[in-house]
A and B are shown apart, each in its own frame.
Chain A
Amino acid sequence: MESTSNRKRNRGRREKDSRVSTYLLMFGCIAMLAAGFFLAAQQHFSSMDYGMKNSRLRKQVEQLESEKRRLILAKEVSLSPMEIKKAAKRAGMLDSPVLDTRDASLIVPTMAKATSTEKPLVMKTASTAPVSAAKPRAVSSQAKAAE
């Protein structure tokens, strides 16, 4: 009799043990799945974040290149003989009026316009700021503004 009851108890314990292990296995799987999901989500959002930073940096490179071109152009304009003559005239280094090499009919009005208030051909226009990893919100708002 004892042996039968013992056998039943052992079987019950084994069944209980196997159920626990099944639950543990299920829990482990679910935990792994959840962790996987979290990891994937993190990767996804991280890649998006990197993508956005990359895009902003690319835009910044474009802006800096544009700015470089503007500066080169500004340098060329300021070194052009006409501008040098105008500057010399403003500084009082030239007595004779600046002769414009344009069509003779355009000379008089051109000379009249050649004043210090004249808007230069090229001005600094681009505004760029370094990408800061510490301030992602500021960066994103700037990028958004740049869009």
Chain B
Amino acid sequence: MKRARISKKEHLKQVAFTRFMLVLAFFALWIGGISVRLVHLQVTQHTWLRERAVDMRQDIRQSRMLRGTIYDRGGRALAMSLRVKTLYADATEMADVGVAAKAISSALKIDEKPLLLQLQQAKVANKRYLPIAKKLDEEAVQKLNKSLDVADVRKADLPNFAGLHWKDEQKRSYPQQTLAAQVIGFSNDADEGVAGIEQSQDEILHGALIRKLQQRDRYGRIYDEEIAEREAPSDVVLTIDSALQYMVEQALEKGVRESDAKSGMAVVLSVKTGEVLAIANYPTFDLNAVNAKSVSNITNHAVQSSYAPGSVFKLVTYGSGLEKNLFNPGDMISSGNGTIEVADHVFKDSHAVGTVSYSQAMAHSSNVCAIKTAMSVGREDFSGMIQRMGFGTKTGIELPAETSGIVRPVAKWNGDSLASMSIGYEIGVTALQMTTSFATIANNGVRVQPRIIKEIRKSGEAAQAPMPAEQPQVVTPETARKLRTMLKQVVLTGTGRRAQLNGYTAAGKTGTAWKFNPKTKSIDPSKYISSFIGMAPAENPEIVVGVIMDEPRSGARDGGMVSAPVFREIAQQLLHELKVPTDAPIDQQTTLEKDIPESPVESSPTNKSDKKLSDTTQKADREKPKENQKNIKDPSKNTKDSKEKRNIAKERLTAFLPKRQFNGIVDTNVIET
């Protein structure tokens, strides 16, 4: 009995054990299967699964940092970037492009057919980026998000429409519109500066690409974000003052309209610092609407175009005469009957001034006296003066595509080159170069380095001002003072009377030059470049203003009539704005008893058959008999004492009168008046 009970108990235990083992075996098999599968997935399909997991969880977004801002010297924004969005379609995500095209065209109010065609093509080509609407502001984005909302679609980003996404971009805005358009320039869609400061300072302004590594949950919400640290772009502060710039632009526009000129440019420099307070070009364009029409106005002619300066260049000629102590402002000089022949060319004055003081010769813009001065100075010294004044080299201003102008080496000069250059022909200068040379005289002969960038501002760092350039002494302070006195006479009694200011003294020089016609390869007597460059106050100049008019077509077209009034308007307003103390009686009536006209140099070959004046390049290429060049001797050679130099020059000029011949220069009809 007892034995039977034991065997039954053992049997039950065995059954339980067997069942337990079965369950265990089942679990072992189950876990074993799972383990095998796990090993298979993690060993053989590891890479694919990992990529898939990362793809589901991680999102890499790239966006560009906002481009740096351009400010004027007063902190007014001239160019700023804003965040905008571009709506694009990923055609591969669209089940039915027809439905999508209908919805998008309805929301954007655009034609459905071309859009449908584009989407179909993109779908076939597996194109994942098809821009639909570019650079929309936040308001437009929100409106589109509302209109392109499909309740069934669940997406991490908006719009809630299959296959449509937003891309972060930026848009450049120019709040001052046309103001200093050629100086500021503009950038393209790729955020690259293509003109003006935008181009020259692109490296500083350009925003770096930021890479954002975002971790998203299954609803697409970002729960972790890693942003690669990149240096923020810097801001550029210009020396330009937007208020002054506006005044200059208005005055220039008025001047261009009144003289019916083709175009005009104006440059304002601060004498003490070399800072450019304004650079204006007219016609101009709206920076917010650059189109095919505005292309012709994009060029900043003040630094990118060279022109024959005409009589304004006599500053250099008379300056070199003074610097070599060959002349003094009070010395008398004869222009004879107003004509002079140099190497088969006859140069004439617009009106004969006879024998006048050196100062009056400049005031009346005598070509003959200027040529005589240059002849006395000599080729090498005159060339040296041109170079020291900065012609033929770039000024180094922080603007793109600056031209160095055209200055030929002495070896390539022709027989009449010295004469031509002394009156501003056979040389190409920019408006900025010419204005800078006047600023040098205003700055007591110390060369002024024009600059347009006041400082560079980096976020979190102190503002950096550009390194000041070397400022060599070009002419002695005494020469500069004498020149200023002579330039003052130009305004008081000479060709620049219309530049007289109210409450301030002014000094300057007019210039009227014929334009070179590239088609006929000769001077076109019907086209002028009229200019006036001046400084104020005359004794202690604060500003230098250069005004150049291209092809004035109505009324008197000389610099004194066309550009001097623009100078007056600009200088009058700017001096008041800059709070410069007055140095002359206020409300004085500008005495314009009689305007002294100035015309481009009249020149003709001695055979009178051809009245063409060759251009710089033409002359450079043309082979002239070298006899003429040999005939022109440097009167300063072998002279040491400056007094001696002056005496020699005087003697030569005196001797020149009765003999009618002087070193190859034939004064055709010298009559003492």
Q: Please report A residues at the B interface, Cβ cutoff 8 Å.
A: 47-49, 51-52, 54-55, 58, 62, 66, 69-70, 72-73, 76-77, 79-82, 99-106, 121-123, 125-127, 140, 143-147
CA of A126 to CA of B293, assembled, Å? 34
Binding site for A on B (CB under 8 A): 66, 76-77, 80-83, 137-139, 142, 145, 156-158, 173, 175-179, 214-215, 217, 219-225, 246, 249-250, 253, 257, 282-286, 288, 293-294, 297
Q: Given the known A-B contacts A51-B224, A144-B221, are A80 and B82 also in contact in the complex, defined by CB atoms under 8 Å? A: no
Contact B77 A76 (CB under 8 A): yes
On whether the beta carbons of B142 and A102 are closer than 8 Å, the reply is: no
For A78, the closest partner residue in chain B by CB is B175
With A73-B77, A101-B284, A102-B285 as given contacts, are A121 and B217 in contact (CB-CB < 8 Å)?
no
CB distance from B139 to the nearest CB of A (A): 4
**Which has the most chain B C-beta neighbours within 10 Å: A49, A58, A73?**
A73
Additional A-B contacts beyond A81-B176, A103-B284, A144-B220 (6; CB < 8 A): A80-B177, A81-B246, A101-B253, A102-B283, A127-B142, A147-B220
Residue of B nearest to A124 (CB): B139
Q: Which of B142, B217, B225 contacts A54 (CB 8 A)?
A: B225
Q: Which of these, B173, B179, B215, contacts A51 with CB under 8 Å? A: B215
Contact B297 A122 (CB under 8 A): no
The 4 closest A-B pairs by CB, nearest first: A125-B138, A76-B175, A51-B223, A55-B222
The residue of chain A having its C-beta at the shortest distance from the C-beta of B81 within the complex is A69
Separation of A70 and B217 alpha carbons in the complex (Å): 33
Shortest distance between the CB of A9 and any CB in chain B (Å):
24
Q: Which residue of A lies closest to B63 (CB)?
A: A62
- Is the beta-carbon distance between A121 and B173 smaller than 8 angstroms? yes
Q: Contact: A103 with B225, CB < 8 Å? A: no
Instruction: Report whether B293 and A105 are in contact in the complex, using a CB–CB cutoff of 8 Å.
Output: yes
Expressed in whole angstroms, the Cα–Cα distance for A66 and B85 within the complex equals 12
Q: Are B138 and A51 in contact (CB under 8 A)?
A: no
A110 to B520, CA, bound (A): 38
CB distance from A50 to the nearest CB of B (A): 8
Pair B283/A104 contact, Cβ less than 8 Å: yes
Asked if B82 and A73 make an inter-chain contact with CB atoms under 8 angstroms apart, the answer reads: yes
Partner of A102 from B77, B137, B284 at Cβ < 8 Å: B284
Whether A80 touches B221, Cβ cut-off 8 Å, given contacts A73-B77, A103-B294, is no
Q: A70-B82, A103-B293 are in contact. Are A80 and B179 (CB under 8 A)?
A: yes
Contacts of B76 in A (CB 8 A): 76, 79
Cα–Cα distance between A126 and B142 once the two chains are bound (Å): 9
Q: Of B173, B177, B214, B221, which one neighbours A122 at CB under 8 angstroms? A: B173
Q: How far is the CB of B633 from chain A (nearest CB, A)?
A: 52
Across-interface contacts of A69 in B (CB, < 8 A): 66, 80-83
Check B220 against A48 for contact (C-beta < 8 Å).
no
Are B219 and A144 neighbours in the complex by a CB distance under 8 Å? yes
Given that A102-B283, A103-B297 are contacting pairs, would A48 and B253 also be in contact in the complex, using a CB cutoff of 8 Å? no
Q: Are B220 and A73 in contact (CB under 8 A)?
A: no
| Chain B residues, CB < 8 A from A73 | 77, 80, 82, 173, 175
Chain B, residue nearest A62 (CB): B83
B223 and A48 within 8 A (CB): yes
Q: Can you list 29 A-B pairs with a CB-CB distance of less than 8 A?
A: A47-B223, A55-B214, A55-B221, A55-B224, A66-B83, A69-B66, A69-B80, A69-B83, A73-B77, A73-B80, A73-B173, A76-B77, A82-B177, A101-B284, A102-B178, A102-B285, A102-B286, A103-B285, A103-B294, A104-B283, A121-B173, A122-B175, A123-B137, A125-B139, A140-B221, A143-B221, A145-B158, A146-B158, A147-B157
- The contact of B137 among A104, A125, A147, by CB within 8 Å, is A125
Main secondary structure, interface of A, reads helix
- B254–chain A nearest beta-carbon distance, Å: 9
Alpha-carbon distance between A72 and B175 when the two chains are bound, in angstroms: 10
Task: From A55, A101, A106, name the one whose CB has the most chain B CB atoms within 10 angstroms.
Answer: A101
A99, B293: Cβ atoms closer than 8 Å: no
Say yes or no: A103-B283 contact (C-beta < 8 A), given A147-B156, A147-B220: yes
Check B220–A121 contact: CB distance below 8 A.
no
Name the CB-closest residue of B to A82.
B177
In the complex, chain A residues whose CB is within 8 Å of the CB of B217: 48
Nearest CB on B from A24, distance (A): 25
Q: B221 near A66 (CB under 8 angstroms)?
A: no
Shortest CB distance B289–A (Å): 9
Would A101 and B222 be within 8 Å (CB), given that A76-B77, A126-B138, A127-B142 are in contact?
A: no
CA–CA, A49 to B223, complex, Å?
7
Q: Return A3 CB to nearest CB of chain B, in Å.
A: 28
Instruction: From known contacts A76-B77, A103-B297, A125-B138, infer whether A51 and B246 are also in contact, taking CB-CB under 8 Å.
Output: no
Report the minimal beta-carbon distance from A40 to chain B, rounded to whole angstroms: 16
Contacts of B297 in A (CB 8 A): 103
- A52→B139 contact, CB < 8 A: no
Tell me which residues across on chain B come within 8 A of A140, comparing CB atoms. Answer: 221
> Which of B138, B225, B257, B284 meets A58, CB within 8 Å?
B225
B76, B83, B158 pick with most chain A CB within 10 angstroms: B83
Chain A residues whose C-beta falls within 8 Å of the C-beta of B177 in the assembled complex:
80, 82
Contact status of A101 and B282, CB under 8 A, knowing A55-B223, A81-B179, A126-B138:
yes
Contact A101 B223 (CB under 8 A): no
Residues of A within 8 A of B137 (CB): 123, 125
Residues on the A chain within 8 Å of B283, using CB: 102-104
Interface centre among B173, B179, B282, B294 (most CB of A within 10 A): B173
Question: A70 vs B82: C-alpha distance in the bound complex, in angstroms?
Answer: 7
Q: A76-B80, A99-B253 are in contact. Are A127 and B220 (CB under 8 A)?
A: no
Residues of B within 8 A of A125 (CB): 137-139, 142
A residues in contact with B142, CB < 8 Å? 125, 127
Residue of A nearest to B280 (CB): A101
A79 to chain B minimum Cβ distance, whole angstroms, is: 7
Choose one: B139, B173, B249, B294; the contact of A101 (CB below 8 Å): B249
Say yes or no: A147 contacts B138, CB within 8 Å.
no
Do A52 and B221 form a contact, CB below 8 Å, given A73-B175, A101-B178, A123-B137? yes
Contacts of A55 on B, CB cut-off 8 Å?
Answer: 214, 221-225
Query: CA–CA, A104 to B175, complex, Å?
Result: 21
Q: Is the CB of A147 within 8 A of B173?
A: no
* Beta-carbon contact of A72 and B80 below 8 Å: yes
Q: Complex: how many Å from CA A48 to CA B224?
A: 7
Chain B residues near A79: list those with CB within 8 A. 76
Q: Which residues of A contact B214 (CB under 8 A)?
A: 55
